[in-house]
Structures are given as structure tokens and as C-alpha cells.
Copies of this chain bind each other. A is one copy, B any other.
Amino acid sequence: MSLRSALLSLLSAEPMSGYDLERVLNETSGYVWTAQSSQIYTTLRQMERDELIEAEELRTGDRTRRVYRLLEEGVEELRRWAAEPVAYGAERDVAHLKASLLNLLTLDQAESLFRAHLAHYRQRLMTWERRIEGIESGTSPILRARLRAAAPDEHDALIAFKLLGYEGSVIRARGEIEWAELGLARVRRLREVTELVQSAK
């Protein structure tokens, strides 16, 4: 996933300024992409040169904003990117790897790892569930913009696939919560065994 595809995806909802894009990228995509201001502006300029987007100067009072609009070639590039098969690569889940080494640590340290994992994914789960609610209740501003831009007979597919993106994240977060709970149960069992051995001595 490149920042370029992320920006094209957002601009396919509605024209936005660099400032808007940065805010939406860090708020709504948050955990998915993160990008620095300077990277965003460099990529926008490159996409402008490649004629994927065009900028328009908008004046509000004495302030001028450059607002970017997706061109047909930009839609095409986004479409090509979405259609490309996913290149599945190495999976680096640091928490799962650390778990396999926890015998090197105390049970208290092992417990901390699982508690942190649980807290992190509970937080994530809430975020994703809120996004899904926003789509289902029709209050998500970016979905509203996308629906305005799309023909009525495309609305079903648009909503169905937007939901699916977030549902993937929900399923993932629930799995991680299940795993952290399994880890905590295993730490408890090891603690009981240790206590039994201690008291038998």
C-alpha cells in the first residue's frame, strides 16, 4: 500500500486540500496509514505532475487553499491498484513472536505483555465498531460524500465494500483479544502449577 493509493482513495470521495487530506488520513485511517505532512505534499505534487489530480485555488476571505480533485486517470490508477492481486509476504507479528519466548521471563512479565495486547486491541475494536456504526447509520461524512458522487445503482456495492474493509479489522481485533485471553489463562495455569510445586516442597 502506497501513500499515493491512500490519497487517491480519499480524493475519490470528494475534492480536498492537503490540510484536509492530512487530517482525514490521520483521523479516519489512523492505524492503517500514517504519513508526515511533508510526504503528503511531495506525493500530491508528484500526482499533479502525473495528471492524476488537479489543483484549484479557492479563496475564503484572505486565505487561499489549494483543493485537489481526482482526474479520470487518477480513478484509473486506483482501479488498477485495487484489481492487482495482493502480494502476500512475511507476517511479522511481534507480540506473537515475543509470546513464544516468554519462558525466558517471569510470569508477571508475561502477564504484562498479554494485558497490554488486550488493552490495545479492545481500544482498536471500539474504533472500528464506531466506524461501522457511522456507515450503517449514514452519519459518516466521508461515506456521504462518496454516495453523493456515485450513481444510485452503485450505492449498495459502495456501502457493502466499505463495511467489509472495517469488518476485516474488527475480526482481526477480536482474534487478538481471544489470543490475549488465552495467554492470560495460560499464565494463570502456570502460576498454579508453580504454587503447587512450591507448597509440596
Q: Which one of A16-24, A48-56, A78-86 is at the interface?
A: A78-86
Query: Is A86 a contact of B82 with CB atoms below 8 Å?
Result: no
Instruction: State whether A104 touches B92 (Cβ < 8 A).
Output: no
Contact across chains for A102 and B82 when beta carbons are under 8 A apart: yes
For residue A174, which residues in chain B have a CB less than 8 angstroms away from its CB? Answer: 175
A182 nearest CB across to chain B (Å): 6
Chain B hits for A190, CB < 8 A = 156-157, 160
Known: A78-B101, A101-B82. A91 touches B32 (CB 8 A): yes
Q: CA separation between A153 and B103, bound complex, in Å?
A: 11
Determine which of B9, B107, B120, B172 lies in contact with A93 in the assembled complex, contact meaning CB atoms within 8 Å: B172
Q: Are A154 and B95 in contact (CB under 8 A)?
A: no
Question: Within 8 Å of chain B (Cβ to Cβ): is A75?
Answer: yes
Tell me the minimal C-beta distance from A188 to chain B in angstroms. 11
The answer to whether A75 and B104 touch (CB under 8 A), given A179-B167, A179-B168, is yes
**Once the chains are docked, how many angstroms separate the CA of A158 from the CA of B101?**
8
Could you give, for residues 69-103 of chain A, a 1 whenever the CB lies within 8 Å of some chain B CB and a 0 otherwise?
00000010011011101111111111111111111
Q: Is the CB of A95 within 8 A of B193?
A: no
Q: Does A67 contact B (CB under 8 A)?
A: no
The answer to whether A97 and B32 touch across the interface, beta carbons within 8 angstroms, is yes
How far apart sit A9 and B85, CA to CA, in the bound complex (Å)? 34
- Which of these, B83, B104, B113, B176, contacts A78 with CB under 8 Å? B104
User: Most B CB atoms within 10 A — which of A81, A87, A162, A172?
Assistant: A172
Taking a contact as CB atoms under 8 Å apart, the answer to whether B186 and A32 are in contact is no
Seen from chain A, the residues whose Cβ lies within 8 Å of a Cβ on chain B are: 1, 5, 9, 12, 31-34, 75, 78-79, 81-83, 85-105, 107, 109-110, 112-113, 116-117, 120, 150, 153-154, 156-158, 160-162, 164-169, 171-172, 174-176, 178-179, 182-183, 186, 189-190, 193, 197
